[in-house]
Amino acid sequence: MHRRLATGLAASTLALVAVVATATAATAAPADKPQVLSSWTQTSASSYNLWAAARANQTAWSAYEFDWSTDYCSDSPDNPFGFPFATSCARHDFGYRNYKAAGTFSTNKSRLDSAFYEDLKRVCTKYSGATATACNSTAWTYYQAVRVFG
Q: Which residues are catalytic?
A: 92
Spatial separation of the C-alpha atoms in residues 98 and 43, rounded to whole Å: 17
Of 118, 94, 116, the residue nearest 105 (C-alpha): 94
| Burial (Cβ within 10 Å: 0-12, 13-18, ≥19) of residue 11 | exposed
Residue 103: which residues within 8 A CB-CB, separation 6 or more?
none
Contact 46, 89 (CB under 8 A): no
Contact 125, 109 (CB under 8 A): no
Spatial separation of the C-alpha atoms in residues 118 and 27, rounded to whole Å: 35
